[in-house]
């Protein structure tokens, strides 16, 4: 007697908690177009009225070039500093339990909520030549306020929370037993740090670096009070855009903004490529 094979069971797809792909994709593209792409397109279109030679002339203007160099150069240095110290802060807040840990954890987010002008006034008051910290620095010949050093301090201040919050969740996922196993196998603390702890954190560190850099490049309120705003010395590109707008030079302001947009996009694209490579290299997603 022949036995019929059982019919294969139908596999039912898990229903999604949100509408289907087509609707959500359309909503995503619409929102991105209205909020991000359309304003940026209008900015580039307004700057293109100058032509390539006009935009190049704005970019090579000594004052504009100096402001761009200050903005991007100091932002890169500040983002690097924020990434290093932010990773240490994230490690301490995640791995150690001590009195006041929750308070310190909340303080990390203050630059997110604090108005940038308030942060700038506070930093200028502290690091001015007669300020609490600035007076001590002046005794050793360091002038912080009204110099690029003040810009650097302000950018580290606003970039540190990004570095901490992007790394902190991944540190929490690293099992302490992995570190203990590395130590049992004879690895030194430095070897455990470089071969066990750091590899899974590299993508998050790069993400925090990119966010801190992007925030630093576009920052205005917390910098102008401590920068001094001296042309060719401590003048940042966003301030120069404001000056151009006050002079009703809208094309020039859009040209500077377009140059900043192009440089920022290139730098962030490079960081994302390095981040993708690190994920493939170390096997983390």
In whole angstroms, what is the distance from residue 120 CA to residue 228 CA?
11
Question: What kind and span of H or E run contains 143?
Answer: none
Instruction: Return the biggest CA–CA distance within the chain.
Output: 102
pLDDT digits (tens, 9 = 90+) for 213-234: 989 998 888 898 888 888 898 8
Residue 275: is its pLDDT beyond 80? no
Mean of pLDDT over the chain: 84
Which residue stretches of the chain are H helix? Answer: 21-32, 38-48, 51-59, 62-95, 101-107, 110-113, 116-127, 134-139, 148-173, 176-184, 189-192, 198-218, 221-227, 237-246, 250-282
Q: Which long-range contacts (CB under 8 A, 24 or more apart) does 2-9 make?
A: none
Predicted pLDDT of residue 197:
79
- pLDDT for 4: 55
Q: What pLDDT does 196 receive?
A: 78
Q: What is the mean pLDDT of residues 187-195?
A: 77
Is the distance from CB of 268 to CB of 252 less than 8 angstroms? no
Residue 284 pLDDT > 60:
no
> Residue 271: which pLDDT band, with cuts at 50, 70 and 90?
confident
What's the rounded mean pLDDT across residues 32-41? Answer: 86
Q: How far, in Å, CA of 24 to CA of 26, rounded?
A: 5
**CATH architecture of residue range(s) 43-282:** Orthogonal Bundle (1.10)
Res 23: pLDDT: 80
Task: State the Cα–Cα distance between residues 66 and 55, nearest whole angstrom.
Answer: 16
What is the arithmetic mean of pLDDT over 139-151? 87
pLDDT at 159: 92
Weakest mean pLDDT among 83-97, 138-152, 194-208:
194-208
Cα dihedral across residues 113, 116, 121, 122: positive or negative: positive
Predicted local distance difference test score (pLDDT) of residue 209 = 92
**Confidence label for 154 from pLDDT (cuts 50, 70 and 90):** very high
pLDDT at residue 157 is higher than 60: yes
Specify whether the CB–CB gap between 92 and 196 falls below 8 A. Answer: no
Q: State the pLDDT at residue 17.
A: 61
- From the list 78, 223, 213, the residue with the least C-alpha distance to 152 is 78
Range of lowest pLDDT (3-12, 66-75, 119-128): 3-12
Q: Which residue has the higher pLDDT, 143 or 11?
A: 143
Model pLDDT, residue 15:
59
Per the structure block, which two tokens stand in for 149? 């050093």
Domain ranges of the chain: 43-282
**How sure is the predictor about 5, in pLDDT bands with cuts at 50, 70 and 90?**
low
d(CA 16, CA 242): 47
pLDDT of 10 higher than 60:
no
pLDDT of 75-134, one tens digit each?
A: 999 999 999 999 999 999 988 888 888 999 889 988 888 888 888 888 988 998 888 888
Does the pLDDT at position 283 exceed 80?
no
Residue 141, pLDDT score: 84
């Amino acid at each position: 007697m022949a036995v019929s094979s059982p019919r294969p069971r139908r596999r039912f797809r898990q229903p999604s908690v949100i509408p289907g792909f087509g609707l959500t994709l359309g909503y995503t593209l619409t929102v991105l177009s209205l909020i991000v792409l359309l304003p940026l397109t209008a900015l580039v279109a307004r700057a293109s009225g100058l032509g390539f030679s006009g935009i190049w002339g704005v970019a090579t203007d000594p004052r504009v070039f100096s402001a761009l160099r200050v903005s991007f150069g100091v932002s890169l240095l500040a983002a690097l500093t924020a990434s290093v110290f932010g990773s240490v802060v994230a490690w301490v807040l995640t791995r150690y339990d001590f009195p006041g840990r929750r308070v310190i954890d909340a303080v990390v987010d203050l630059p997110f909520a604090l108005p940038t002008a308030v942060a700038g006034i506070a930093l200028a008051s502290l690091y001015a030549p007669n300020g609490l910290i600035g007076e001590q620095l002046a005794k050793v010949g360091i002038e912080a306020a009204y110099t690029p050093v003040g810009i650097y301090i302000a950018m580290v201040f606003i970039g540190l929370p990004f570095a901490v919050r992007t790394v902190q969740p991944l540190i929490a996922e690293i099992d302490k037993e992995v570190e203990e196993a590395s130590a049992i196998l004879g690895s030194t603390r430095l070897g455990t740090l470089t071969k066990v702890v750091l590899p899974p954190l590299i993508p998050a560190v790069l993400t925090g670096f990119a966010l801190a850099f992007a925030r630093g490049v576009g920052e205005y309120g917390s910098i102008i009070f401590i920068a001094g705003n001296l042309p060719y010395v401590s003048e940042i590109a966003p301030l120069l855009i404001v000056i151009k707008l006050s002079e009703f030079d809208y094309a020039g302001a859009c040209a500077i903004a377009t140059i900043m947009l192009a440089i920022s996009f290139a730098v962030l694209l490079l960081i994302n490529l390095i981040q993708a490579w690190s994920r493939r290299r170390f096997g983390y997603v």
